[in-house]
Amino acid sequence: MKMIKLKDTVTINTTFKILAEDLAFFENELRAVYDVVDLKIITDTEKLYTEDSHFKKLVKAKKEATKQCELYINRHNG
């Protein structure tokens, strides 16, 4: 991974848990200060994950694919 300079614009991805009633205010504040590329509500899949073995396999496969993509990007993206 190349070194980030303090003046570089970087893209980050993070996950927050907030009350639904605060969502509109939170999104508006983020968009007022930052160039928001994507903001989406993530469905709670905890029950599905614990009760559905096929879904659990899909999550595991997605996690591994994401890891491999990140490794590839880090090796080949200057």
Tens-place pLDDT, residues 25-45: 999 999 999 999 999 999 999
Residue 60 located in a structural domain: yes
Residue 5 located in a structural domain: no
Spatial neighbors of 55 by CB under 8 A, at least 6 apart, are 45, 48, 49
> What are the distances in angstroms from CA 53 to CA 1, 11, 42?
35, 34, 20
Whether this model's pTM surpasses 0.75: no
* Residue-number span of the structural domain to which 53 is assigned: 20-76
Domain tally, the chain:
1
19, pLDDT greater than 70: yes
Which residue has 């070194």 as its token pair? 3
CB atoms within 10 A of CB 58: 13
